[in-house]
Structures are given as structure tokens and as C-alpha cells.
Structure 1
Amino acid sequence: MRRLLLAGLIAFTVLPLAATPPSTPQPLDLETIMANPDWVGQAVESPYWSVDGRSIYYAVKRDGSQVRDLYRVDAASGQSVKLDAAARAQAGGDPVFDRRRQHAAYILHGDVFVVDVASGQRRQVTRTPQDESSPQFSADGRALQYRDGNDWYSYDLAQAVVAPVALLKFADDPQDARPDALGERQLATFSTLRRIKADKQAVRDENEALQAADPSRAPMPFWLGDKIKLVDAQLSPSGRWMLLVTVPKDADGGKVPQLTHYVTDSGYAEPEDVHTYVGRNDPAGQSLLLLDLVKHKPYALPTDTLPGIKDDPLKALRHDAIAALEKAGKADQAKALKAPDVRPVTVAGDGGDNIAWSDDGTELAVQLRAIDNKDRWIASVDFGDHTLVNQQRLTDPAWINWNFNDFGWLKDSHTLWYLSEQSGWSQLYTKPLDGKPKALTTGRFEVSHPQLSPDGRWFYLRSNQVAPYSYDVYRVPSGGGALSRVTHYQGMDDFKLSPDGSQLAVLHSSAYRLPQLAVQPAAGGTPRELTDTMKPAFTAHQWITPKIVQIPSSHGAGVIYAKYYGPADDTTSRPAVLFVHGAGYLQDVTLSSTYYFREQMFNNLLVQRGYAVLDMDYRASEGYGRDWRTAIYRNMGHPELEDLLDGKAWLVKNHGVDPQRVGLYGGSYGGFMTEMALLRAPGEFAAGAALRPVSDWTLYNHEYTANILNDPQIDPAAYTASSPIEYADQLQDPLLIEHGLIDDNVLAEDSIRLYQRLIELRKKNFWISLYPMERHGFVHPDAWYDEYRRVDELFETYLEKPKSP
């Protein structure tokens, strides 16, 4: 998991009004806000173009179900139709094209289909119970390649024959077994054994000769040994090479904690394995193996020549940790912390996003990360020497971002393109293999999601160049030139280029309007709106348009962007609430719809009752550059708390807020920050509700936590400084903790341990509410209602009435 709590914390999305609000809006209530969200409307999801570029397909969740219905809309007329089962069978999937644009291929219900672009004739390539994936055409256009798991197949378009590309055997070749001393004596003694052995070798030699001369035969197996297991395999479009990513077969993942399902179909409590704790066995280092499919030879691609790979960026911390262990008489633990001679790396995740072949299959680039995530390398492969050649090294004393790691090849198959935060902001670069890098974009803004046009002339990308909170599609010439704005929504969520590159399908949203689909010319122009999936009951309400404000930082951080809900006057003494978004690295202050649509409605309800509400993009939030992101390195909960306190001071100064009646709430990282605020700044907040919070970072996973706090064995001080449980003795203000018992992201034991600690400290005014059938992101309306009923009652009890002097 690349970032904390994202998937679970993100419930739905909401946006601006689609209807004129009534003059006397109906008051809000919790029952409505926390009901099944179908009454709000549905987001348009996963748009893709038809092969001929005339239609766009998109999905919409069905009311009362998790089923997604598929729609087709005519891009020219805007006429849309929901497809029944028979029509879906003919709809096709998201297509890929060969280099000459003569054929297209896609995956439909897990099978592979190929289409003749000129005639529209479709041919089914597979019909299997398993799911195929990753269709791509060979460089010469004669074959369609696809994968089943990590096994690759090639479909000859002319002969309509499917064949495996390579047979991978993770075992030792039985015919290569060398006899021991006894075996050698047997062979020396018995001529019959020698003849049998010679006959086997002759048969093998003959098969290899026939294989080399006859392409109609199935390939010979690659015997790769029994010491490794496969993580990923990527085939070159030329069909000549295959790159394997492997890990040691016996890599120890560490002890896996469990959660318990108490309410089950069976009536019995049922355990479930979840993620390993940070520091309880780091991810295994990965290795690269290059297979020559023509010469039938494997070649290891060592990573020990990458620049900086032998450095130890944690040298000072490691020295102190080892010294402390040795002083404590823990020599074995101290020895285990010794830095490796060569830092281990990871290469591949799901889908092969870190491996890129050029269109003609003659070049290969691989993106590698150090396990400590202080370095990222993009390296090309020298097929002659079977070595990696570094093309770009990005190093960060904190951690390399989870985002902004896209890369690939220009159409010349010799020039790399990539995103990098090397300037402090994600920008787009190109680099010839034998040349210097060139920045295609520059500035104090971020670019992401680059898409190269089919003709290779343009990059289309998402950027917040106008303001941190405003996102649109931009384009820049692939050879260099001005960055120009293509859309003008300010709340652009995603986009898809048409097959010919002339049009854009755009998903856009706003404060109370879920993502909707539009189409417009790719060079810019007037868009045609294609969908409106919002419900009248929701759009008819007079929602509060959040005002984006800039709050001065009193700690040298510049300004903190926030959304303010509430009256403009500053004459009335009123209570206030800070909503703290989750995930840490997430941007909630935008002109797009928010992930937290229920929370946004709850904020409206609070304003209706006389509160002011502030939603801040505290330090660590996305959208504001590298320094804002890494401000929390080794110190989680500290810069963010400074920002929240600045937010409170701004409310008091500008909106008549009573400083004694300010509360806060949030889920996941927002729950963590609620606990840090109450425990590290006692007396500043009148009450707080911590939903599914991290209370002790030693219980979270490696992928997120070690990036920010390093390993707990190497950097225990970072975990002590950053974990709310370490400050439990300072609790003096009311704290409500709420957690799903089957949360497999932040485990419920995290909150239960803090609760036990508060019991032992004999604290008062703390409560816990556990939800037996909820994971990290709640899904059942009853649980949502109960959760926020308790939050509402907490604020009503401790915030609404002024405190006595």
C-alpha cells in the first residue's frame, strides 16, 4: 500500500449544485446525511473509448447494489444508453493498438479479443476460466501478446495459433544434475549407464536443434532453479526478450497479526491474517533476470553498479542504534542492524508499472527503488553486456514520493520521459539514452498522469499550475515548448485521449457534484457535457459552498490552504470544529469533489447549528510540493499540529470563534491527528473524536511507515515522538475513539491498546465505540449513523455552551 488509509478513508465524493436551490432550504439531519448514499447520486467511473473513437463507455453504480452498469454515449450527439447483458457482450473493453493502427485488442470478461480497425470485425482469442490481461501487439504487428498470471502467450494473427512465449520452471534441470562421488564411480564402472546417459544427451541436443529451426514447436523450458520465486514477468514487443523480477523463495515475511470477525454467517468467531508490522521483516530485495528467448539463455542484471547503491543514508542513525544495543548487552540485535554492502532494491509491483519497453522492443528501462526508499533509479538495459545503465537517479534524505513515478519512451524508441520531484515539484522530463535530461515543464506546481498522444507530438497531463487547489488538463510538446491549458473546469479528476488523439474524455467534479463525463477537442475548445447522475433530492438542497482561504503559518511554513464553512461575520461568539482529513498525503482543499462527502454534509449540519468549520491541508498534504510533503519526516504529528493550532487562531481572530469551544474530528490519519492534538496540546481543544486512528506507529505496515519514520529498530526515537500512546499521560480533554473491529488497515488493537493505557493511567472523559462489521472505510449506514451520532453528541455536550469563567 503506497499511502496510509487512502482506499478506506475515501468513502465517496460530492460536488456543486445541479439545480436552483429553494429559498427556504430544508434543515439537515443525521438520518439523511448518514443514509445509504444512493440518494446523493452516483459518480461516473472508468471511462474508455471505443475502438473507432465514436463512443465512450463508462460505468455507474446501480442504486441499492454494488453492481456497476455499463453505458455507451455517442461522443458527437451526446446520446447515452445503458447496455443490457447482450449489448455488453459486444461492447468491448479499453483498447490498445498496434503501431500501424490496423488492429486493436482489449480484455472483455477476462478474455482477449482482437479487432480489425478498418472493418470493425472482432475475433475472440481466448475463452478460459482464468483472467487474461496486458494485451500488447508485437513490434512487427504480426502477433498479439498477452498474459495469464505471469505466463505470456503469443497469438499469430495470420495463422490464428496461440503459443506460450516461454516455459518457466522454478526448479533445477533434472538432466543437469551432477553425480556425486558414488555416481561418478557408477558411470566409470558400467558402460550401460554411460550409454543411457549419452542417449539422453543426444535426444536433448536433437530437440534443441529442432526447436531452433522450427518456430512451430512449443518453446523449451527455462530451468531457473529452486531458490527464487517469480514476482513479475514482462515481454518485449519484439518477442526476443523477457524480463523477470524475482525474490528469494525462502524470504521471511515476519509474523502476521490477526483480527477476529465476531459476527459471521457461521456463528463462530473467525480469524483473518493482516499486514506484518513495520520493522518485523522488511520486504525482500528483488532481482532482475533477462531471458534471451531466441538463444534460450538467461542473464542476471546486477544492481550493484547503480550510483549510490552502496551508500547508507541512515548511517548516523544506525550507528547510534547499534551503540545503544551494544551498551545494553544485545549484541545479536546490534549485529542484525549492520548495513548491507549493497542496499536491496524493489522493482515491480502489480501490473509492471516499473518496467517499460520501447514500442519497437529494442530498448528496455526499469525503475528501481532502494528498500529504504531514499533512492529511485531509472536504468536502461544494455543487451550486449547484460548490464543496467543508470539514466536518472532521484535521491531524497526523507523519502521518495509514492506518486510522480510515471516513465516511458517517446516514439523514437530511444528517448526516455519521466516525472521527477528533483526540483522540489513534480515536473516532466525527457532524456535521450546518450544525452542530457531536458525539463518539459518547470514551476512551483505539480504535473501528473502524463499521456503521450498517439502521434507522439504532445504530452497531456494533469496540473495545478493556476493554484494548488485548481486542477485541469494541460499539454506540452514532447520536444519542448510552452505548457498550455486545455480544460477550464478547475476540478478535473481524470481524462482519456481518443484513439486518434483528437478528443479528450474528461471526468470533472465540483464541491457538491460527483465526477461527470464530458468530451472536448484535445487542443482545447468548448466541451460537451455527457452525463448528469446527481439526484434531485441532493442537488435541490442549498449546500454551503466552502470558501478556500489562506491561513498564515506562525512556524515559517508560508500559508496553509483550507476550506472554511460558516458565516462571514466575526461578531458572534460561536463554537468551531476542525475536520482533519485522512491519509496524511491527501489533498482535500480543491475545487473538485471531496472524498469525504458524508463529512462535508456533517460540516453543513454543524454550521446550521451555529458552528464554524475548518478543513485544512496541513503539512504532509498532497499538492504543495516536496518540502510540504516531507515536513513530517521522523516527526509525525508535530508540524501538522502547529498548522491546526494556526487554523484555530485564524478562526478566533477572523470569525468570532470562542477559543474555549473548538473541537476536532477526523478518521485514520485524521484520527491520529485528533489524538495528537488532545494529547500534545492539552487545553487547546475542548473535545475530539478520533475515528479509526493510528495510536502507535509500530503497529502499522512497512510500506507507509518506514518511509516516514524509518525502521523502528534503527530510529526508535521517531516512533516515540510520533505515536499518540506515548503521550497518553497528558490527556485532560474529552476523547471519543471509534474503530471498526475488522479494520485490516489500522487494526482495532491500536485503539484498544491506547484505551487500556488510559485505564491504567486512571484518566477520565474518554470513550471507545467498536463496530463489529466495519473495516477501515465504513460501508453500512447503521454504523455510519451511530458513529456520527456519538460525534455529534460529543460536540453538543462540550462545545455548544460557553464554559463558565
Structure 2
Amino acid sequence: MQRALVASFATLLTLAAASTRAVTLDQAMADPDWIGSPVQQPYWSVDGRSLYYRLKRNASPVRDLHRVDLADGRDTVVDPAAMANADGPDARFDRSRSRAAFVRNGDVFLRDVASGRLTQVTRTPQAEASPQFSADGRSVQYRAGADWFVYDIAAGVSGPAALVRAEKDPEAKKPDDLAQQQLRYFSTLRKLKADREAQKKHADEFTGGDPTRAPLPFYIGDDVKIEATSLAPDGRHLLVVTSPKSYDAGRSGKLQRFVTESGYEEQEDERTRVGRNDPAPQSLLLLDLGARKQEALALEDLPGIHDDPLKAVREENEKLKRERGAEVKPEAGSPDKKKDAKKAEKKKNDEPKARAVRIVADGEDGGGGGIAWSEDGASLAIQIRAIDNKDRWIATVDFDRAKLTAQHRLTDPAWINWDFNDFGWLKDGRTLWYLSEEGGWSQLYAKTASGKANALTHGRFEVSAPALSPDGRWFYLRANVEAPYAYDVYRVAVGGGELERVTAYKGMQQFALSPDGRQLAVLHSSSYVPAQVAVAAAEPGAAPRELTDTRTADYKAMSWLAPEIVAVPSSHTKQPIYAKFYKPRDFDASKKYPAVLFVHGAGYLQNVHLGFPAYFREQMFHNLLTERGYVVLDMDYRASEGYGRDWRTAIYRQMGHPELEDLIDGVHWLEKNASADPQRVGLYGGSYGGFMALMAMFRAPEVFKAGAALRPVTDWAQYNHEYTSNILNTPQLDPIAYERSSPIEFADGLRGALLIAHGMIDDNVLFEDSVRLYQKLIELKKDNFELAGYPLERHGFVHADAWLDEYKRILKLFEANLK
């Protein structure tokens, strides 16, 4: 069966390799519509008989919704009339799986599985989200903003389930001295007040006891901001995540736009820089909806929350300041006052402080990601992350005592991965499952509240996207078991056991289980085939059925050079450095070739894999370079995704150093194995790859003779907080890490030819990053460098003419300096 699986996809590979003509630079950088759009966001219909997916229209930004009838394979675009009966993504089923609820166009719908009858639950201007079924299956719960509503299926009536207001309770206002005096003086006022209170008590009794009435709001104070809310399926509790309302978000700059429709220059706010203010700390509030009580869930008992994981870093930086003769401000006041102040400060510092935390939420609509209820609503788990990035906790809630109970702590002296944070409950509602890197690789674990954690998967590979089958027997997941660069669907029993391979694509990107759990929708690709969708039985060895091939005839007619995946020996680690190697078709080992290294972006990203790369233009450019007589190496340097925790965290407090060691190892490999001329080596990359191009040109000028740094970070103190503080802490606390990691500190090392290219309205890596470095190079009296600015481009270029201009400059740089 596995042979059949491989053979079914071989036709796509054969077509991709059809040899007719080579790519030109104009075509490689053209609008990618000529390739054919990739399939996006596949999901099942509620009845499992159809598959939906999104596909971009040719020469249009519009993405149509397609529906494939699996009985006859008919693929149709869902038009406006048909949309009225279409299912939406991420459908939630009741416990009997007889009904499903989903959101489409911001409204909630309910589908009966057996009859197919569709009921529109809401039709409102605001967007509803997070539909779920009540524990008894009689109603659908959903959220609008911070408030929760419930739709009674039998009665066909919607109403509020829980209303939360970040305001003071207007009824809780106590009379001041003057008002108390007035009541003491005048019996008529006392009578009027007593009548009002009696009427309110009567109304509250009926409101609380009459289920047909809307509940009264909860007032949680006007000093907080509501970040997220989550309703228990049994309707008894609401969890509220809050942050201080007055929290200062920090100063941000202004991004300047020069080419505008108005004809006038325009400005927009930039993001806040790292360390200019930490993310707002968050707190947890548990609302008992029946008893109308609210209690804070204290975080002080989480294990390790009083630790100071940055103590040694702080001391190292303070020591360096003293060694550099940093000015020490004289203390004010008399000797006795100074002594008393020191004692008070020491006592204050010796007191254990709870570190600030945030809830690991999904971020898009403000709820859900860090909060998991069991299906019956009797169990609640919350994922909590320290703002200093060193700890992640999963805690359950004791409703009777309104207390958190820690179930799992993941701690890392570097930083907790922003991936691999999935967690939830098994069908029994009492067993937690979660992903953890605690053993060095992301693996799947299960744990009862009072028991020991059980590792369901084991090995030197990464597990992600676990999905529990509807019958609760299996976990299906994405993993690179065969090799770091080969991803497929695997499954493992919920009790543990053998990890079974389900697909054999090696370039599997995403999967979705059918509503009955018997089939998989698989999004897959290969080096030159963009994402396509297939269906297969959800069991090992099943042959897939391909549903799409969206490539154009022009693209299929191209002749592509298959990249060879090689393991470059590392001079600094036991693990090899995996890389894609491209060489001329007429490669002659007796000749010497100029060499180019491509450096992928993001840092934590994997580009050495068997799927269609995010850098598909760059891959075509590598084909063109080999046609012109270059050898090309594309490396997953240390920091890259897919190789375990140690590979990821090697760059902690020293960005640009381990990665440069790996790139230099790549140059040595090319010299030894690909006849590369070590005197004619260049490199290029964008974003993190641009940062690395600068580090290579500045810190290893004897190795790299020419480099193109595209949209590069030049000073990490200018980048955002969320990404940078994970790896380098903050510049106020750890200036050492920023000094050793920022290219602008090493700019004097430039010897070769440098191209800097940057979108001028880039709101990720700001254009001023490149401008500041440009000024530094001017002051250092360097030559043979240039800055190309693109007035209408942000971080990811979207206009073909800008892509072409940028890569013409890169090609010219290499041709002039490496040939």
C-alpha cells in the first residue's frame, strides 16, 4: 500500500521535472500567478461528504471558496447563492456528534448531521466567535467580544449567558459622610432609600430564579482591561483574563510614507521597540455564574514563579559596567539615612516576588488558546507563561477553593519555544495531554491530575499539531520521524504504544480529520509543486486520492533542478547541518566554481525540507545561478526549526555567532565536495537572513567577498519585544547580548561588496534599521556598499517590479564580484 501511495504522487513529480526550458530572472520574479496558486485552508463539510478549500483567483487578490464533492470529484466555486448553505471551518460537534456549530462570515450556524438542516443562530453586525455546545447538548454557546451568549436549540431563543463589564458596580457605591448625614436627618429620604432597595431585591430574586430573563452583568472594576473570556460548557463558570487598564504600552515612532495616493507624505504608528515596555501582565478571575461570585485565581503558588532565572545575567552585566568604569551616582542624604535606605532596599529585594505572566492565548480574537475545558465543563486547564520567557505552566482549577493546581512546569534557561504549546483533555475529561520540549524534542504527553506524566511519543524528532480522533482512541500528528526534512502524518494510541506512519508524502504540511474520524484531508507539496489537497483513509498504508493540481501549463513546462539534501559536518556540534545543494547540470569536478550561500529568514524556520518552500522565488533564482555556473548552498543553520531544543537555543544571548560558524562550515563543505573556489564566495538573505548576511560580511570578510542583506535587522535593540526578548532578554537588562548580536557593532569589519535592500514602509524590520547602518558605514569611510529603498514595499515584497529590481541588483553584485 505504501508503494501505491508513493506512486500516486509520482505523477506530479514527473510533471514537475518535465524538461523543456529554463527560467529567466523576469519570470522567476514575476507575479506567482503564472505558477498556479497553492491550495489553502482545507476543511471538511459537517457530513464528511465534501471538502472545502480556498484558492486565489488568477490576477486577483480574491480567494474563492471551493467545494469538492467526494462522491463524483466535482470541484465547484461556491457562489453567493450557494454560500448560504455552505459549512464553515473549525466546526464544533456536540458529544453525540449529531449536531455541529460553526462560524461563517461572523455569524453562528447550527447543522443537524443526519438531516442536513441548517439553522442560522445569529445575524448581527458584530462578529461572533468560539461556538461550542453545552455539556448537555441542548444549546450552543458563543462569544461576542467579552460576553457569552447561549442559543436554546429546542426553543430557538438566544440570550446572554454571561456579561462582563470592566466598570465599577453602580450599585456598590457607598454614601459619603454628607449623604449619611442626610439620611440621619430626614426620615422621608430613609423611606425612599428602603423602598428602592426592596424593589431591587425583589427584581434580583426574579432575575436569578427566572431562566427566561437575561442575567445581570458582572462588574469587575474600572482599573482592568478584559483580554479574554471563556465559558464552561456546563454554564456554571466563566474565566476572565485581565490586564491593568492603565498599563503604558511604551513609546512608538512614526513610519513615513513618501509615495501616496494623496500626493502628500503620510505617517503611521510604528511598533514599540524591545524593552521599551514589557507586555502587560495578566491576571485570572473566576466567575461563579450561579452564585454570582467572583474570585481571583492566585498565581503565587505556581512552582518556580518566585525564582529569578535572570540573576546571573544581571550580575554579568553589572560586572561589565563596573569594569568599564560606569559612573556610579552618589547616594543622597546623611550616612544614617543612606544606611537605613540600604537596609530597607535589601529587605525589599530579599522578599520573594511572583514573576509577571501572560496567558498563552491564540491572539486573534482574544480567547481560547490558553484555556481548555473538558467536554462536561467539570475540568478546566490554563496555560500560563512567564513574561521573562523562562517558564510555562499548565494548571488546573479547583472550583470549590478557587485555586490553581500546577500540573506541569516547563522551564528553559534560554527561552520557552513559541511553538509546541498545544494542550487539552482526553474524552474522560480528567486526563490532560500536552506537547513539551522537556526531553529536548517536542513530544506528546498525557497526565491525570494526580498521576505521573506518560510520554506517548519518544525520539529525536519533532511532534506537532496533535488531533484527537472523534472516538478518543488515537492522536494523529505531524512529525519528521524519517528524517528532519521529511514530514508526514503519524498516529499513536491515547494510552501510548507504537507510533504508526499514516502518509508517505515526506512533504506533508497540514491535515484534518473527517468528522467521523475515518478519513484525512492532507495538504501536501514537493520542491516544485505548491500545496495540493488529497484525501485518504486515516490508517497506515492507505492510498491517497488526489483532488487538485492547480499548476499552470507554463509552469509545468519548466525544467527544474532538484535540490540535493546534504548533511554538512559541523565543526562545533555533533549534529550535522542539513542543507539544500544546487549545482550546474554539467557540473565538472575538475573546475572551480563561484559559490553562493542562501540564508533563510525568521531564524526559527526550516527551509531544508521536501515540501514547496516559502522561498520559492529564491529557489528559482538558485536554478538561474546554476545555469550561470554557480554552486549554491541553502543551510538550516543553528536556530532553525525541526532539529530539537538545543539547535534552537544555541543562539541564546549570541545571535549571529553559531549561525556564522555553520555558514563557514558550509563554505568548507562546498570547497571540499563541490569544487567551490574559496576566494569567490557570496551570500544573501532577507530579514533574519539579511541580518546574517551582515554578520558574515562584517565578521568573516576573509570568507565572504560579496553579500546582499535584504530588509535586515542591523540593531536588535530596534526590533520588537515579542521576538527579541525571548532570545536576548531586554537591552536594559542584558546589553551584553545586544552588543554581541547586533551587526552595527561590527560594521568596521566590512571589506567586500555589500548591497542593502529594504522596503521603505516595512513595519516589521523598520527601514530606519538600514538607514542607521548606512550612516554608520559612511562615518566609517567604507566604500563598495549601496542601499536600495523600495517606497511601496513592506517586509514581504508584493510587487513584481520591486522583486525584479532587487534580484537584478543581487545578480549584478555576484556577477561583478564572484565571477
TM-score by length of 2: 0.94
Separation of aligned partners in 2, 1:18 and 1:183? 87
Contact 1:606–1:612 (Cα < 8 Å) also in 2: yes
Question: Which residue is 1:196 aligned to?
Answer: 192
User: Displacement of 1:130 after TM fit?
Assistant: 2.0
What corresponds to 2:270 in structure 1? Answer: 274
AA at the equivalent of 2:776: R
- Could you tell me which runs of 5 or more consecutive residues in structure 2 were left unpaired when the two chains were aligned: 1-10, 332-341
**Alpha-carbon deviation of 1:711?**
1.0
Partner of 2:482: 466
Residue 455 (structure 1) aligned with residue 455 (structure 2): no
Q: Which residue of 2 aligns with 1:594?
A: 613
Match of 2:519 in 1: 503
Deviation at 1:165, TM superposition (A): 1.3
Unaligned runs of 5+ in 1: 1-14, 801-805
**Deviation digits for residues 139-194 of structure 1 (CA, Å, limit 9, x no counterpart):** 10011011112221100001111111122121111221122333322222222332
Name the counterpart of 2:180.
184
Structure 1: distance between partners of 2:305 and 2:488: 38
Equivalent residue letter for 1:104:
A
Report the 3-state secondary structure (helix = DSSP H, G, I; strand = E; otherwise coil) of the residue aligned with 1:595.
Answer: coil
**1:307-456 correspondence runs (5 A):** 307-321=303-317, 328-329=327-328, 341-347=353-359, 348-350=361-363, 351-456=367-472
Contact 1:18 1:534 in 2 (8 A): no
Note closer, same or farther for the CA distance 1:210–1:751 as it changes in structure 2 (3 Å cut): same
Larger displacement relative to structure 2 (585-594 or 341-350): 341-350
Q: Which residue of 2 aligns with 1:621?
A: 640
Matched AA of 1:150: A
C-alpha distance in structure 2 between counterparts of 1:395 and 1:680, whole Å: 33
Shift of 1:556: 2.6
1:748-759 aligned within 5 A: 748-759=767-778
Q: Given the alignment, which residue of 145, 148, 151 partners 2:147?
A: 151
Q: Which residue of 2 aligns with 1:714?
A: 733
Whose relative contact order is higher, 1 or 2, with alpha carbons under 8 Å and at least 6 apart?
1
> Once the 2 structures are TM-superposed, how far is the Cα of residue 325 of structure 1 from its aligned partner?
7.0
What residue is the counterpart of 1:27 in the other structure? Answer: 22
How far did 1:349 drift? 4.1
Contact 1:446 1:463 in 2 (8 A): yes
Tell me the equivalent position of 2:622: 603
Offset at residue 387 of structure 1 (A): 0.5
Summarize the Cα distance change of 1:331–1:490 in structure 2 as closer, same or farther, 3 Å threshold. Answer: farther
Cross-structure match for 2:66: 71
SS at match of 2:732: coil
**Distance in 1 between residues matched to 2:779 and 2:12, nearest whole Å:** 48
Percent identity for Structure 1 against Structure 2: 61
Q: Match of 1:649?
A: 668
For residue 764 of structure 1, the aligned residue among 770, 777, 783 is: 783
Deviation at 1:572, TM superposition (A): 1.1
1:518-562 deviation line (CA, Å, top 9, x unaligned):
000001301101100011211211100000000000113421000
Q: Residue type matched to 2:558 in 1? A: H
- Alignment match, 1:113: 109
Aligned in 2, Cα 1:195/1:320: closer, same or farther, shift over 3 Å?
farther
Name the CA distance, whole Å, in 2 between partners of 1:184 and 1:92.
61
Shift of 1:96: 1.5
Equivalent-residue separation in structure 2 for 1:797 and 1:195 (angstroms)? 95
Q: Does 1:476 align with 2:492?
A: yes
Q: Does 1:519 align with 2:520?
A: no
**SS at structure 2 position matched to 1:647:** helix
For structure 1, which segment, 88-97 or 742-751, has the greater mean C-alpha deviation from structure 2 after superposition? 88-97
Say if 2:697 and 2:704, in contact at 8 Å, map to a contact too.
yes
Moved more, 343-352 or 457-466: 343-352
Report deviation, 1:564: 0.2
Instruction: Give the alignment partner of residue 729 of structure 1, picking from 728, 748, 751.
Output: 748
- The aligned residue for residue 128 of structure 2 is 132
In the alignment, structure 1 residue 80 sits paired with structure 2 residue 71: no
Question: Residue 684 of structure 1 corresponds to which residue in structure 2?
Answer: 703
CA distance in 2, matches of 1:742, 1:529: 41
Determine if contact 2:242/2:282 at 8 Å carries over to the other structure: yes
Residue type matched to 1:346 in 2? R
Q: Which amino acid aligns with 1:613?
A: V
Q: Does the aligned pair in 2 maintain the 1:18–1:539 contact within 8 Å? A: no
CA drift at 1:266:
1.3
Is 1:247 matched with 2:236?
no
Task: Tell me the SS of whatever aligns to 1:19.
Answer: helix
Cα RMSD of the aligned pairs, angstroms, is 1.8
- Cα deviation code 1:333-379 (max 9, x no counterpart): x9999798110000034242110000111000000000001000000
Q: Output one character per residue of 1:318-343: Cα deviation in whole Å (capped at 9) or x when no partner.
A: 234457779523589x9999798110
Determine if the alignment matches structure 1 residue 782 to structure 2 residue 813. no
The worse-fitting range, judged by mean Cα deviation, of 263-272 and 279-288 is 263-272
Decide whether aligned partners of structure 1 residues 22 and 176 sit closer, same or farther in structure 2, where only a CA change above 3 A counts. Answer: closer
Checking the alignment, whether the CA contact within 8 Å between 1:669 and 1:694 is kept in structure 2 is yes
Residue 44 of structure 1, aligned match among 33, 39, 48: 39
> What do the CA deviations read for 1:41-62 (whole angstroms, capped 9, x no partner)?
1100111111110110111100
Structure 2 CA distance for aligned equivalents of residues 154 and 20 of structure 1: 51
Shift of 1:197: 2.5
CA contact (8 A) 1:78 1:528 kept: no
Q: Which of residues 288, 296, 299 in structure 2 aligns to 1:300?
A: 296
- How many residues align? The count is 784
Match for residue 213 of structure 1?
Answer: 209
Q: CA deviation at 1:682?
A: 1.5
Contact kept? 1:406, 1:449, Cα under 8 Å: yes
Whole-Å separation in 1 of the counterparts to 2:582 and 2:635: 11
Which deviations, in whole Å up to 9, do the C-alpha atoms of 1:276-326 show, x marking residues without a partner?
Answer: 100101111100001111111111001011000000000122234457779
Query: Contact 1:374/1:396 (CA < 8 Å) preserved in 2?
Result: yes
List per-residue Cα deviations over 1:11-49 (Å, max 9, x = no partner). Answer: xxxx974627555x3232211111111001110011111
**Alpha-carbon displacement from aligned partner over 1:247-293 (angstroms, at most 9, x marks no partner):** 00000110012211111111111111121100101111100001111
Q: Secondary structure at the match of 2:286?
A: strand
Does structure 1 conserve the Cα–Cα contact (< 8 Å) formed by 2:270 and 2:763?
yes
Distance in 2 between residues matched to 1:577 and 1:605, nearest whole Å: 12
C-alpha separation between the residues in 2 aligned to 1:475 and 1:311? 38
Q: Is the 8 A contact 1:17 1:539 kept in 2?
A: no
Q: Deviations over 1:405-450 (max 9, x none)?
A: 0000000000000000000000000000111110000011110000
Residues 223, 543 of structure 1: alpha-carbon distance in 2 compared, 3 angstrom cutoff: same
Match of 2:596 in 1: 577
Is residue 2:573 matched to residue 1:556? yes
Contact 1:75 1:519 (8 Å CA) reproduced: no
> What letter is aligned with 1:89?
A
Q: Which amino acid aligns with 1:606?
A: L
Deviation by residue 1:743-768 (Cα, 9 ceiling, x = unmatched): 01000001100000001111111100
SS at match of 1:582: coil
Distance in 2 between residues matched to 1:500 and 1:160, nearest whole Å: 27
The equivalent residue for 2:4 is: none
Partner amino acid, structure 2, of 1:367: Q
d(CA) in 1 for partners of 2:469, 2:153: 26
- Distance in 2 between residues matched to 1:585 and 1:279, nearest whole Å: 21
